[in-house]
Amino acid sequence: MRVHTGASAPPPVLRASACLLRRRERFVPAALHNAAAMKVIVNVDGGARGNPGPAAAACVLRSPDGEILGEHAQLLGTVTNNVAEYRALLLGLARAQELGADDVEVIGDSELIAKQVQGVYKVRHAAMRPLYLQAMQALRQFEHWSIRTVPRAQNADADALVNAALDQAAASS
């Protein structure tokens, strides 16, 4: 690269680059050229066969236009259904953060988890408190977040991942 030191105009390539940079800074909102500025919709589900029993957590991450950004499932060993639901929430939030999301919309079928995170229900079970605190800490990493519940049929993709993980674990044992 040549360094311009004289009074004449800089070489055309440098002039074009400087012009593009000025336009970009002037006309493109900061959120659009900040790669981390993005919204991710995270469907989460956890399930245990037996309560407690063999359990799994899963999440499906999508862009706002519905494009699947990732699908993840994790076997949890023997835990309760509510623990599996919290672990699914934590899995989904971790994956959204890895993608660089700064705005997450969490969708699940557990009213208990959603209402506890929203502050509507108290966390009364001592074993659930650490998971709740981890979830709240994870949510604070995002500029904006929301959580809501849907019927299980509207959370079918995450539910299917949980069941597939549990079926595979049962078949291999």
pLDDT in tens, 72-124: 999 999 999 999 999 999 999 999 999 999 999 999 999 999 999 999 999 99
> What tokens does 136 get?
């709240």
Q: What is the pLDDT of residues 38-79, one digit of tens each?
A: 999 999 999 999 999 999 999 999 999 999 999 999 999 999
**Same domain membership, residue 150 and residue 97:** yes
**Same domain membership, residue 138 and residue 76:** yes
Q: What is the pLDDT of residue 19?
A: 33
**Same domain membership, residue 100 and residue 44:** yes
**Same domain membership, residue 110 and residue 158:** yes
Q: What is the pLDDT of residues 147-169, one digit of tens each?
A: 999 999 999 999 999 999 999 99
Which domain, by its residues, includes 76?
A: 39-172
Q: Which residue has the tokens 């919204």?
A: 39
**Same domain membership, residue 80 and residue 5:** no
d(CA 54, CA 47): 8
Number of domains in the chain: 2
**Same domain membership, residue 73 and residue 15:** no
**Same domain membership, residue 70 and residue 5:** no
User: Closest Cα to residue 69, out of 165, 157, 163?
Assistant: 157
**Same domain membership, residue 110 and residue 30:** no
**Same domain membership, residue 71 and residue 16:** no
CATH number reported for the structural domain that contains residue 51 in this entry? 3.30.420.10
Between the CA of residue 102 and those of 31, 36, 95, 160, what are the distances in Å?
10, 7, 12, 27
Q: What is the pLDDT of residue 36?
A: 46
Region of 111 (left: φ > 0; alpha: ψ -120 to 50; beta: rest) is alpha
**Same domain membership, residue 106 and residue 50:** yes
**Same domain membership, residue 67 and residue 5:** no
∠ CA 44-48-49, nearest 5°, is 140
**Same domain membership, residue 72 and residue 25:** no
